Amino acid sequence: MSSDLHHSIPAGLGSEVFDQTEVKVSRCYQCGKCSAGCPLSEEMDYPPSLVMRMLQTGNKEMEEKVLRSFSIWVCLTCEMCFARCPMSIDIPKMMDFLREKALKERKSNPKAKEIVAFHKSFLDSIRYTGRLYEIGLFADYKSRTLKILDDLALAPKMLKRGKLNIFPELIHDRSGIASIFRKTVKKNLK
C-alpha cells in the first residue's frame, strides 16, 4: 500500500507549501523530534512540530498565525530537524518559503525586526558592490534598527586585528549584480 494514501494535503497554505517546495506537511505524524532537536525551539512561539500541525489543519486562522510567527524568523536553518525527521520532511526548505511569503505580505513578526533588518542590510550591501562590505552592513543595520550602541566595542577590536576593511571590495561586473537583483527582488526590500 502506498504510504502516501493517508496523506492528503489540505487546501490553503499547506498546499501552497507543497506547490512551491514539494514539502508535504501532511506526512508529519507529530513525533516531535524536530522540536526536541531544534536549538531555537525554546525561543520560538510555536516549535517546528507545532508549525507542522497548524498547517495540517488547513485552518485560515492557524495559517495566519504561522505567517506572523516569530518561529519562522528565529529558525537558523541549521537543518537538524530535517536530519532527524523520520519522514524526511524538509522543514528548513518550508521555513524559507514561509519567510519569503511573510515578507511579501508584510506579515513579519515585530519581534523579528532586527533579524529581518540584518538580512536586508546584508543584501543591500552586496547589491551595490557585489561583495559583503562589513562596515557598510553594520552602519545600514544600525540605521534600520537604531541599535546604535550594540557591538560598538567590537569594531575597533576588529580593526586592530585587521578583520575589517575600511573600503568595500568592488567587483567589476556590478551592473550584472544589479540586474540580478532587479530581476529577482522585484520590489525593493526596504
Partner 1 sequence: MTLGFYPGCSLKGSSREYAESVLAVAKTLDIAIQEISDWNCCGATAAHNLNRELSLALPARILALAEKQGLTEIVVPCAACYSRLTVTRHELLKDPALKARISEINNMEFKGNVTMLNIIQMIDKYVTPVLESRVIKPFDHKVACYYGCYLVRPHEILNFDREEDPQTMDELMLKIGAKPIDWAYKTECCGAGLSVSRTSSVGRLSGKIIGDAKDRGAEAMIVACPMCHSNLDMRRDSINSYLGEKVDIPVLYITQAIGLAVGIDRKSLGLQRHFVKVTV
Residues that bind partner 1 (CB under 8 A): 39-40, 43, 74, 76-80, 82-83, 88, 90, 92, 96-97, 99-100, 103, 114-115, 117-120, 122-123, 126, 130-132, 134, 138, 141, 150-151, 154, 157-158, 161-165, 169, 171-173, 176-177, 179-181, 183-185, 189
Q: How far is the CB of 132 from partner 1 (least distance, A)?
A: 4
| Distance in Å, CB of 76 to partner 1, minimum | 6
* Residue pair 120/82 in contact by the 8 Å Cβ criterion: no
Q: How far is the CB of 80 from partner 1 (least distance, A)?
A: 7
CA-based Rg of the chain, rounded to a whole angstrom? 20
Which residue's CB is nearer to partner 1, number 46 or number 141?
A: 141
Q: How far is the CB of 57 from partner 1 (least distance, A)?
A: 25
> What helix, strand, coil percent values describe the chain, rounded to 5?
60, 0, 40
Closer to partner 1 by Cβ: residue 24 or 120: 120
Hey, what's the cell of 12? Answer: 490553503
**Choice between 58 and 102, CB closer to partner 1:** 102
For the chain, how many residues are written?
190
Distance CA 62, CA 71 (A): 14
DSSP 161-182: TT-S-SSPPPPS-HHHHHHHHH
